[in-house]
Amino acid sequence: ALPAGILDPLTSSGVAPGLEHLPPAASEDEALTELRALADSNTVAVSMIGQGYFDTLTPPVLRRNILENPAWYTAYTPYQPEISQGRLEALLNFQTMVTDLTGLEVANASMLDEGTAAAEAMTLMYRAVRGS
Over residues 63-81, the pLDDT tens digits come to: 877 777 777 666 566 566 6
Q: Which domain holds residue 60?
A: 55-132
Domain assignment present for 28: no
- 2 occurs within a structural domain: no
pTM above the 0.95 mark? no
CA 109, 114, 118, 123 torsion-angle sign: negative
What is the CA angle 84-89-83, rounded to 5? 20
* Domain assignment present for 38: no
HSE-CB at 130 with a 13 A cutoff on CA atoms is: 6
Number of structural domains in the chain: 1
**Has residue 30 been placed in a domain?**
no
Please check whether residue 19 lies inside any domain of the structure: no
Q: Is residue 42 part of a domain?
A: no
Q: Is residue 13 part of a domain?
A: no
pLDDT tens by residue, the chain, 132 residues: 567 778 778 777 888 877 878 888 999 999 999 999 999 999 877 766 666 666 778 888 888 777 777 776 665 665 666 667 777 788 888 888 888 888 888 887 766 666 777 888 888 888 888 865
Would you say residue 43 lies in a domain? no
